[in-house]
Amino acid sequence: MAGDIGMAGKVALLLWAQTLGLAGAQTTQLLVEPPWRPALLWDGVTLTCQGSGTASATTWYKDGKLWWQKGEESFTVTNIGTYTCHRPGSGRSPPVTVSNDDLVLQVPGRALLEGDTVTLRCRGWRNSEVTLVSFYREGTELRGLPDGAELSLSPLQLNHSGRYSCEGWVGHWEWQESAPLTVTVHELFSVPVLEGPPEITVGSPLTLSCSSTPSPLRPRAPLLYLFYQDGRVLGDQQESPQLLLPAVGVSHSGNYSCEAQSQGGTVRKSSARLRVTVTVHMPVANATITPGPLAHQLHTGDNVTLRCSVQVGSAPVTFTWLHNGREVARGPLLELKDIDVGQSGTYQCKATNQLGQDGHRVFQAFSPELALEHPWADG
């Protein structure tokens, strides 16, 4: 094999040119220095194969054909072509192309994710000056760009993916056009999904979770979260993907959403809305006769006390007494003294708790009707 064998003098960057496999699975990686794609022969390119097994077990391929078996893991390239390497146990690497064209458009040789700062550069052979440069995306010229041989795509967005090329005057020779360069921008994180109960009762705690999956290319990218109710921000940005409301009231009913942001806010994604309804738990009011049990038959001169209570709820509770459907008194007790025929009929109490500042335990409930009969009522 032609060329000098040696280790890369600098820390090379991984060329991500394949879809990642299963999480945690090791794959063979082909590193290039300088870290640009496509690599240029006149830059003194060094390729390094990394994978499982010993370095001496490395097998190299050039233009799809076996080129060097049981070779070193690193070498300096002396010929153009497309290179891959193989290591036992981790398979074959993604390809790296080494070019010697008169005009080449290059992109950084690393995974490109949303929000990154990235510049494409249009380079002439052996760094010849390139003037009157134009850039194209999918064959259409990109207008309104500043003069120069570099194209900034910062911050990167998913819609920056595509095929790019450049053209210009190389040195004092001739007008040249570069080969197309495919730029692929990966998601930094997925669109978040807001999860939580669609219905919850007054006074209960509410937990909302904003779930987003980070890219396996950058799984530890930190995110910040914002939560909204009916378009209104709830609190400040937070690192936790969860929002806890310790005890909800009826005012907490509404449409909720969340927003996940990258550090610096260059990438922002919002969830779909989640409708949360806060329902009122209606306790049962019970009317009892004290002392009891007593017959519902009344006699002239009797004294009867009716007591109204609720099984659940929170103070303050207002009690209202109804006699034959008309309000006659307020309070938890109704005392009927010296009963006469006019006090016969049906009695019912209504228990009400108005919305307090804490918004908890709001209810209005009626007791069953209680019939008190006087023997002279029909006479």
pLDDT at 214 over 70: yes
Per-residue confidence band for 27, with pLDDT thresholds at 50, 70 and 90: confident
- The rounded percent of the chain whose pLDDT value lies above 70 is 83
Shared domain for 19 and 80, answered yes or no, is yes
Residue 274 lies in a domain: yes
Shared domain for 208 and 177, answered yes or no, is no
Shared domain for 43 and 65, answered yes or no, is yes
**Can you give the three-state secondary structure of the chain, one letter per residue?**
CCCCECCCCCCCEECCCCCCCCCCCCCCEEEEECCEECEEHHHCCEEEEECCCCHHHEEEEECCEEEEEEECCEEECCCCEEEEEEECCCEECCCEEEECCCEEEEEECCCEECCCCCEEEEEEHHHCCEEEEEEEECCEECCCCCCCCEEECCCCCHHHCEEEEEEEEECCCEEEECCCEEECEECCECCCEEECCCEEECCCCEEEEEECCECCCCCCCCEEEEEEECCEEEEEEECCCEEEECCCCHHHCEEEEEEEEECCCCCEEECCCEEEEEECCCCCEEEEEECCCCCCECCCCCCEEEEEEECCCCCCCEEEEEECCEEEEECCEEEECCCCHHHCEEEEEEEEECCCCCCCCCEEEECCCEEEECCCCCC
pLDDT value for 9 = 33
Tally of domains in the chain: 4
Shared domain for 65 and 112, answered yes or no, is no
Per-residue confidence band for 252, with pLDDT thresholds at 50, 70 and 90: very high
CATH of the domain at 233: 2.60.40.10
Final residue in a domain of this structure, among 279, 305, 329: 279
* Mean pLDDT to the nearest integer, 86-95: 90
Per-residue confidence band for 250, with pLDDT thresholds at 50, 70 and 90: confident
Shared domain for 330 and 302, answered yes or no, is yes
Final residue in a domain of this structure, among 47, 78, 99: 99
Residue 377 lies in a domain: no
Q: Which residue range(s) make up the domain with 314? A: 285-372
The verdict on whether omega for the bond into residue 88 sits within 30 degrees of 0, i.e. cis, is no
Residue 378 lies in a domain: no
Q: Which is more confidently placed, 19 or 95?
A: 95
pLDDT at 145 over 60: yes
pLDDT value for 119 = 96
Final residue in a domain of this structure, among 126, 155, 186: 186
* Mean pLDDT to the nearest integer, 66-86: 92
Shared domain for 135 and 198, answered yes or no, is no
Shared domain for 178 and 201, answered yes or no, is no
CA distances from 318 to 98, 299, 366 (A): 85, 30, 12
Shared domain for 236 and 315, answered yes or no, is no
pLDDT at 324 over 50: yes
Residue 54 lies in a domain: yes
Residue 1 lies in a domain: no
pLDDT value for 363 = 66
pLDDT value for 17 = 35
pLDDT value for 281 = 58
pLDDT value for 326 = 92
Residue 8 lies in a domain: no
Per-residue confidence band for 339, with pLDDT thresholds at 50, 70 and 90: confident
Cα–Cα distance for residue pair 40/8, rounded to 1 Å? 16
